[in-house]
Amino acid sequence: MINDIIKDAETRMKKSIDSLRGELAKVRTGRAHPSLLEHIMVDYYGSDTPLSQVASIGVEDARTLTVTPWERPMVQAVEKAIMNSDLGLNPNSAGTVIRIPMPQLTEERRRDLVKVVKGEGENGKIAVRNIRRDANSDFKMLEKEKEISEDEERRGQEEIQKLTDKYVKEIDDVVAIKEEDLMKV
């Protein structure tokens, strides 16, 4: 029972780390990467559809992405969706291929992105701490119902604290790597 709670907490903490990595992948550095466009939704005949389902996304060179819609009439819709996104990109269409040059990041913009990264890291830590709180309350409930002893509850809470410390440190490491990546010129 205690092991089940610990395994569940660890699984949820791993998912929090994966979620953080996914969020940080959206924060762009100076390099072109297809994941930058994954969250963009395109108006596909009246319904919002992820860009990756209406077009192929590729990397032409280190500073240019290419988007090729599956259907020719979708070029304008894809271009409009990219322009209206929060990324601040200016797509150029040439027939059926849309090229998206990545602008050089300014020092001020880099600092803003570092703040965003730190905020995402803090959200990840909050998620991990909430998982710890849930697990600890499960232990307290089991102890209250006399299904486990006080010593078992305390040992369970110590295990959860070790997991929490491990994943908080991992979050700090992931954030530090992304910060370093952002501040490289």
Binned at pLDDT 50, 70 and 90, residue 155 comes out as: very high
**What residues are paired with 56 via a beta bridge?**
68
- Residue 78: pLDDT over 80: yes
Instruction: List, for residues 98-128, the tens digit of each pLDDT value.
Output: 888 887 777 887 887 888 889 889 999 999 9
Mean pLDDT over all residues of the chain? 86
- Residue 30: pLDDT over 70: no
φ, ψ of residue 103 to 5 degrees: the values are -70, 150
Taking the model in full, what pTM does it have? 0.67
Say which residues have a Cβ less than 8 Å from residue 151's Cβ, sequence separation at least 6: none
Beta strand pairing call for 55-61 and 64-69: antiparallel
* Selected residue with higher pLDDT from 121 and 44: 121
**Among 89, 93, 88, 117, CA closest to 101:** 89
- Residue 11: pLDDT over 90: yes
- The per-residue pLDDT for 28 is 66
Q: Among 11-15, 43-47, 129-133, 137-141, which is the least confidently predicted range?
A: 43-47
User: Cα–Cα distance between 79 and 96 in angstroms, integer?
Assistant: 11
Domains and CATH numbers, the chain: 2-26+106-183 (1.10.132.20), 34-101 (3.30.1360.40)
